[in-house]
Amino acid sequence: MSDAKTRIDETVKGNDVVLYMKGTKSMPQCGFSSRVAGVLNYMGVEYTDVNVLADDEIRQGIKDYSDWPTIPQLYVKGEFVGGCDIITEMTLSGELDGLFDENGVAYDKDAADKIRAANG
């Protein structure tokens, strides 16, 4: 197992919610990363952010790890959930709430409802 894959595996399995993104949760550096981080931040989800721009091995490694070509990538309880479009759809449909509920991830249900109301 490569060093990057080992580090990714440890991060994904060692944290309840992980977002591999361009930039950080407080300073996203692309629109797609900003959208997913914004949803998680607004919903009050505690998550680990990994800035792929800071490490080329991780930037490529995460794509190989998930067999998903784009960033951001969201993981919940060690499982790959999806990228920006999937997370946006799941947020608007309520599926993301269900996923968090199933996995015991704390979030602000009122904030999730406000996102849906604003985009409904």
Binding-site residue numbers for [2Fe-2S] cluster are 30
Q: Residue 18 pairs with which residues in a beta bridge?
A: 48, 75
Go through the chain and tell me how many residues it has: 120
Cα angle 61, 37, 113; round to 5: 135
**Nearest residue to 81 via CA among 64, 95, 61:** 95
Q: What is the DSSP string of 62-111?
A: HHHHHT--SS-EEEETTEEEE-HHHHHHHHHHTHHHHHHHHTT----HHH
Binding-site residue set: 30
